[in-house]
Structures are given as C-alpha cells and as structure tokens.
Amino acid sequence: MQHHPPGHITQKRRASSLLFGFRRSGPVAHLAVRLHGDIDAVSAEEVGRLLDEALRGGPAALDVDLSEVEHISTDGIVPLFSALKKARLRGTHMMVVGASRHVWAALHRVGFDRALAHQQGDGS
C-alpha cells in the first residue's frame, strides 16, 4: 500500500478503455492529471468532465500527462482545447507532458501545440 503526504488525493475512474486519475498536493497549487488508453469520441466527454473538475479548484498549474495514452483522435483533442481555454481564463498554467511521438503528431495536426505555446508566451 502506498503512503501519501497529507493533502494528497488520488482519484481513478474508468470510462470504457480510458483510465485516468489526478493528484492534489497541498492547497491545489499544482495539479497533475494522468490519462491512460485511448482518447476518442467515446471517452472525450468523460475527459472533459475530469479536466473541468481538475480546474474547478483553481490550481496555479495543471499538468496533463499523456504518457500512457495510446491513441488520441481529433474528437479526443477537443476537451484539451476546452480545458486550455478555461485554464487561461482562470489564470492556470496548463502543460501537456509525456505525449508519445504519435500522440504529439495528432496534437500538432490540429494546432494544439501552437495554442499551448501561445499560452506559455512562446508563440505569436
């Protein structure tokens, strides 16, 4: 059994082939969401709800970990765009981490990488 520091919350749920969870550390300064499996039309709504829930607490930073995402479709990218927009409005710095080359290529095809870079002040 893992031991976690006070204020640490791990939540895991399963929606079809998608397994995801998030951790809260302390007073929600930094939140990490880890997604697993396929993110597509079937799982997009649930991913959107999870990201909305993660942003609800107003973290200063939100990391979306895609290291265990095997496939992401255009429909699956929609909740990431939505979360990025909401993060901007709330002043939350959102990062996508751990994406495989295949997943990153899908994000690039729809311009998500450029939107993310613009949010970080690296784009024009």
pLDDT of residue 32: 87
DSSP code for 40: S
Tokens at 98, concatenated: 């751990």
Tokens at 108, concatenated: 């690039």
Neighbours of 54 (CB within 10 A): 26
Phi, psi of 122 (to 5 degrees): -95, -15
**What domains lie within the chain, and their CATH numbers?**
9-116 (3.30.750.24)
pLDDT of residue 25: 54
> Which residues, listed in sequence order, are joined to residue 100 by a DSSP beta bridge?
none
- Tens of pLDDT, residues 5-24: 333 333 444 444 444 555 55
Of 26-30, 56-60, 97-101, 108-112, the poorest mean pLDDT is in 26-30
Which alpha helices (H) appear in the chain, and where do they start and end? Answer: 44-56, 74-90, 101-109, 112-119
Rounded Cα distance between 84 and 35, Å, is: 16
39 neighbors 73 (Cβ within 8 angstroms): yes
**Rounded percentage of the chain residues whose pLDDT exceeds 90:** 58
Q: Residue with structure tokens 């495989």?
A: 100
Q: Check pLDDT > 80 for residue 121.
A: no
